[in-house]
Amino acid sequence: MAESKSKVLIIGATGYIGAYLVRASIKLGHPSFILVRSPTPSDPAKAHLIKSFQDSGVTVLKGDVDDHESLVAALRQVDVVISSVNAGAVASQVKILEAAKETGTIKRFIPSEFGNDVDRLENDFKILEGVYQTKRSVRREIEKSGIPYTLVISGGFAGYFAPNLASSNVSAPPRDKVTIWADGTTKAILNTEEDIATYTIKSVDDPRAANKNLHIRPEENVLSQGELVGLWEKKIGHTLEKILVSGEELKKIIDETPFPANILYAILYSVFIKGDQTSFQLNGKDVEATELYPDVHYTTVSTYLDQFV
């Protein structure tokens, strides 16, 4: 008899990556739960999203990370907890850990990472250091808790970086000119949000991913900004004008741009100039998603760009 799949609770389900995680959990056959402050929020978009989850068989649990009793009650109903809280709520994940320790039944905790590996980068900008330090602190608490965990290191969201060719001032792939950071040769990692969610859910019952960093590095999605632009140029049949912006020039832009708009520029510097996503080799603490789950047919960046042609 096939082993039953874990019951998965997603906290932050109405957020950007959270909605993808819920859909992936449903698709992969897990009994799926979400934690919400209100099943009928005043925000119409969130209310519609929650209703769509319910219609798909998701169990909606009323509760709040800041309400310990409701959090414990929710965790008692599931086996796995996935947090996709936003950057401002990262520190609150310690409260999830406390509730998980009280229940004593959580088989896997996946915190809100879904980006760069904060233990392997040196930050250049104060505007990012607070989030990075908080994530590191939460990681250490997770390690001390004794609760099995998986840290999902997804690289960049294709939805953020591919449509604008990793530029900063356009919302669709440009057809005349594009900003290139430094010389455009630094390698980055871009994955679709659907694939990130799929690999995350695939890992929840996998002992190979327990207490590991799950890196999502599909070979065809490890590419430089220059290669990204080249893919687009081939699709539209002509060459774009390249406006080169050096690292020093980008630092000046970061200094002169008001918060929070300067956060995006700092991330662009980290990813497309410093190479913080690809400047290290995987080791014994790491596993790679496409190697663990070769059955997942991931979307390449090239295929992703086809929708904009």
Rounded to an integer, what distance in angstroms lies between the CA atom of residue 100 and that of residue 106? 6
Mean pLDDT of the chain: 95
Q: What is the distance in angstroms between the CA of the first residue and the CA of the last residue of the chain?
A: 47
Cα 109–chain centre separation: 15
CB count within 10 Å of CB 22 equals 28
Query: Can you give the pLDDT at residue 121?
Result: 87
Q: φ, ψ for residue 6 (rounded to 5)?
A: -65, 150
Query: Can you give the pLDDT at residue 269?
Result: 95
Query: Can you give the pLDDT at residue 303?
Result: 98
State yes or no: pLDDT of 122 exceeds 90. no
Query: Can you give the pLDDT at residue 240?
Result: 97
pLDDT bracket for residue 1 (50, 70, 90): very low
When pLDDT is averaged across residues 228-249 and rounded to a whole number, the result is 97
Catalytic residues: 135
When pLDDT is averaged across residues 77-83 and rounded to a whole number, the result is 98
pLDDT bracket for residue 191 (50, 70, 90): very high
State yes or no: pLDDT of 79 exceeds 80. yes
When pLDDT is averaged across residues 201-229 and rounded to a whole number, the result is 98
Query: Can you give the pLDDT at residue 126?
Result: 86
Rounded to an integer, what distance in angstroms lies between the CA atom of residue 113 and that of residue 132? 10
Rounded to an integer, what distance in angstroms lies between the CA atom of residue 110 and that of residue 212? 10
Q: Where are the alpha helices (DSSP H) in the chain?
A: 16-27, 44-55, 68-75, 93-103, 126-145, 158-161, 193-203, 225-236, 247-256, 261-269, 289-292, 301-305
When pLDDT is averaged across residues 299-309 and rounded to a whole number, the result is 97
Sketch out the chain's domains with CATH numbers.
8-155+191-217+281-293 (3.40.50.720)
Give pLDDT tens digits for 166-182. 997 667 889 999 999 99
Query: Can you give the pLDDT at residue 214?
Result: 98
When pLDDT is averaged across residues 261-271 and rounded to a whole number, the result is 93
Query: Can you give the pLDDT at residue 170?
Result: 66
State yes or no: pLDDT of 252 exceeds 70. yes
Rounded to an integer, what distance in angstroms lies between the CA atom of residue 87 and that of residue 164? 23
State yes or no: pLDDT of 2 exceeds 80. no
Rounded to an integer, what distance in angstroms lies between the CA atom of residue 125 and that of residue 269? 10
Are the C-beta atoms of residues 194 and 299 closer than 8 Å to each other? yes
State yes or no: pLDDT of 56 exceeds 50. yes
State yes or no: pLDDT of 92 exceeds 70. yes
State yes or no: pLDDT of 25 exceeds 50. yes
- CA atoms 230, 117, 160, 263: torsion sign: negative
Query: Can you give the pLDDT at residue 172?
Result: 81
Residue 260: asked if its preceding bond is cis (omega within 30°), the reply is yes
